[in-house]
Amino acid sequence: MAQAGFWDHQEQANRIVQALKRAKALLEPFEACRKQLHDLQELTTVVEASDAASLKHLQEELATLTARIDRLEFARLLGDERDPRGAILSIHAGAGGTESCDWAAMLMRMYTRYAEAKGYSVSVIDILPGEEAGVKSVTMTIEGDYAYGYLKAEEGVHRLVRISPFDSNKRRHTSFVSVDIVPEIEDDIQIDINPNDLEIDVYRSSGPGGQSVNTADSAVRIKHKPTGIVVTCQDERSQLKNKQKAIKVLRSRLYQRVFEEREAEQQKEYAAKQRIEWGSQIRSYVLHPYNLIKDHRTDVEIGNTQSVLDGNLDQLIEAYLKWKAGQKN
């Protein structure tokens, strides 16, 4: 950063500044713990066993240090090279028509609230509304440090059980929605895409119109023929900008594909992650006849369902990261 001309290339400079912030966010708490430990060790040499007030102070400082070290241990769970990146989150309604579309919209709201509470920025780049309510599918970019590292816990099938607000007979319905997460990548990672491998279509936005919705024939759909990956973008009025965003999403998904293939080779059970199958839900949200959210990987159960649906996912995500670390060990 001290080199002449560092700020001449703004995007590259910003990436380096962000990398520095992430490094400081890891190193500074470690240094603070080491200093506090050293201070406590010195205090133990001068405090008398009969000095109750000083002993109480030592116990309080030790409890604070222990909590700090626990947070450092948790930070170690986000050690994958992809974890510090932003996330591209896609939600797809499953079988069930309007019910599933409404459930997809509920999850979209949940993740938006979670991201905003973390200070992340959220942008919807593609959305297909449901015929009566909700959304059939939506793709969002969530930008912020470690957005992917945390949100990767949400990849899989989510199951909802409730009394349907769309059923006049007030019957209980079960709905399924799949969530896909890939890390957002920038130009610092080389992903080669042959233009001849791309099938590019331009179409009219599927949105209902309005001040912030693109209604021109500038929405872009790109298919990567060798892998069959399809991405769409329709949030910009410019066809060129939509194409650039779609290419960025495609590069991120190809990048993630490399890691998934590597993991599948190392441990075959991870290959199941590549398939989203109904009946293999990662989490159930039961709103009737009782209120309970259960993660089937970690067995964590939460009775305050509304809090989770309002975006309070920390307990579920932290439990998943610890469980995943245990699986790898």
pTM (predicted TM-score):
0.73
Q: Are residues 133 and 163 in the same domain?
A: yes
Give a yes or no: residue 27 inside a domain: yes
Q: Which stretches in the chain have pLDDT values below 50?
A: 208-214, 269-277
Give a yes or no: residue 80 inside a domain: no
Q: Are residues 14 and 156 in the same domain?
A: no
- 32-65 per-position pLDDT tens digit: 999 999 999 998 888 888 888 888 989 999 999 9
**Number of compact structural domains in the chain:** 3
pLDDT at 53: 87
DSSP string spanning 159-217?
EEEEE-TT-TT--EEEEEEEEEEEE---TTS-----GGGEEEEEE---S--STTS--ST
Q: Are residues 141 and 122 in the same domain?
A: yes
- 196-227 per-position pLDDT tens digit: 999 999 887 665 444 444 455 689 999 999 99
What is the per-residue burial (b if ≥16 Cβ within 10 Å, else e) of 39-48?
eeeeeeeeee
Q: Are residues 57 and 25 in the same domain?
A: yes
Q: Are residues 180 and 200 in the same domain?
A: no
Give a yes or no: residue 300 inside a domain: yes
Give a yes or no: residue 276 inside a domain: no
Q: Where is the domain boundary, 264, 293, 314?
A: 264
Q: Where is the domain boundary, 28, 47, 75?
A: 75
Give a yes or no: residue 223 inside a domain: yes
Give a yes or no: residue 273 inside a domain: no
Side-chain-facing half-sphere of 322: CA atoms under 13 Å:
14
Q: Where is the domain boundary, 75, 96, 123?
A: 75
Give a yes or no: residue 68 inside a domain: yes
Q: Are residues 100 and 163 in the same domain?
A: yes
Peptide bond into 289 cis (omega under 30): yes
pLDDT at 316: 97
Q: Are residues 177 and 100 in the same domain?
A: yes
Q: Are residues 179 and 94 in the same domain?
A: yes
pLDDT at 310: 98
Q: Are residues 159 and 286 in the same domain?
A: yes
pLDDT at 270: 40
Give a yes or no: residue 190 inside a domain: no
Which CATH number fits the domain that encloses residue 104?
3.30.70.1660
pLDDT at 213: 45
Q: Are residues 173 and 92 in the same domain?
A: yes
* Domain region containing 243: 195-264
Q: Are residues 178 and 286 in the same domain?
A: yes
Q: Are residues 104 and 244 in the same domain?
A: no
Phi-psi region of 113 (alpha: psi -120 to 50; beta: other; left: phi over 0): alpha
pLDDT at 142: 96
Q: Determine phi and psi for 284, rounding to 5 degrees.
A: -115, 140
Which CATH number fits the domain that encloses residue 229?
3.30.160.20
